[in-house]
Copies of this chain bind each other. A is one copy, B any other.
Amino acid sequence: MVNYFSSDFKLGILGGGQLGKMMLYETRRYDIQTLVLDPSAEAPSKISCNYFEMGDLMDYDTVLNFGRKADVITFEIEGINIEALKQLEKEGKKTYPSAATLEKIQNKAIQKEFYIDNNLPTAPFKRFDDLDSLKESIKAGMVELPFVWKSATGGYDGKGVSVIRKQEDLNELSSGECIAENLVPFKNELAVIVARNPSGETKTYPVVEMEFHPTANQVEYVICPARIDDHIADKARKTAELVSEAFEHVGLLAVEMFLTEDDEILINEVAPRPHNSGHYSIEASYTNQFEQQIRAILDLPLGNTDSKVGGIMVNLVGAEGHEGEVQYENIEKIMKMDGVTPHIYGKKITRPFRKMGHVTIVDKDLNKARETAEKVKNSIRVISKK
């Protein structure tokens, strides 16, 4: 067993956003040395790591040279140079999740085909090399409107996904590789986080339920536990575990799913890292997702994934019409409410719908937490300074 605690061991983290920042609280708590690579001089992870390097996560040499300084390498964002990751593995560096797993997930078209190949339930789709090919297929009657367009690469925070209802909607899309997915009517969006360490130990978090902002395609509330029947919850957890196994995934895998009107579970997409849908765990769970991620990738025993109390997470996104130096309006007001914990990511500039922070609301009574969450949502605003 490697001695991680207060030792010379170094964990390299590719990406220095809010997910990395929250992971660093846990590495600090274990006194594990960390190196962070991020393109931004104002990365939320810049403080709290032992060594920060500014650099392009998609650049082969940058990632390779950074990775060589670490003993174990992980990432908090999917958009990283996969060839550099593969080379680091060849050189004997442990990278968790592995380059092979990330490669299957990075490209949404490949990810979708992986589900089909592994008999995992997902909405029917067609894959296209570019937007023109998709348009031709529509003309030829091979793809019918409405459908869900997804860019194969680069999607994030609701970008790269659009519901195409009429011909003109196609004008808004980027030109690259994409998929057209059947628009399946669903009752609910669910997510399950599965943790897995290299020794094969697996622990699964409870099912959470997501409510999306009607226009921005970003999560508005994440509710744990999801208010669904136990047998549906079991099915969702079982599906997520199958997905994790199929990917031979190490670390956290967040599996987003649709619950259809026929109570079928369909896999939407996965994220091989801590995830927005798991932020509630910091306040609500026995082991929060960031600690669990550290435990998993370092092959330490996994922690209890149960909740102490009901948890709801509200994303703090930049208000429409506001761009510039950030200001959190009414934050004192929400801090007066019981069980409310704000998390400010430390981004200096707000933009409409930019994720600037989140607020967790916990209560032994989930309905009460839901009421408080709505008060929080209606109070706090992320605006720019006048």
Which residues of A come within 8 Å of B, CB atoms? 1, 3, 5-6, 21, 25, 28-31, 47-50, 286-287, 291, 295, 300-301, 303-304, 308-309, 326-328, 331-332, 335-336, 338-348, 362, 364
CA distance A1 to B339 in the complex (A): 22
Q: Would you call A48 and B28 a contact (CB within 8 A)? A: yes
Shortest CB–CB separation between residue A43 and chain B, in angstroms?
Answer: 13
CA distance A300 to B344 in the complex (A): 15
Q: Would you call B362 and A286 a contact (CB within 8 A)? A: yes
Q: Would you call A6 and B347 a contact (CB within 8 A)? A: yes
Shortest CB–CB separation between residue A23 and chain B, in angstroms?
Answer: 12
Q: Can you pick out 20 interface pairs between chain A and chain B where the beta carbons lie within 8 Å of each other?
A: A3-B327, A3-B328, A5-B328, A5-B331, A6-B328, A6-B344, A25-B28, A25-B29, A29-B343, A30-B342, A30-B344, A31-B344, A47-B47, A47-B49, A47-B50, A286-B338, A300-B332, A301-B336, A304-B339, A308-B364
- A6/B326 contact (C-beta < 8 A), A49-B47, A295-B335, A309-B308 known: yes
Closest to A7 in B: B327
CA distance A25 to B343 in the complex (A): 11
Contacts of A49 in B (CB 8 A): 47
Contacts of A30 in B (CB 8 A): 342, 344
Tell which of B300, B339, B342 touches A335, judged by Cβ atoms closer than 8 Å.
B300
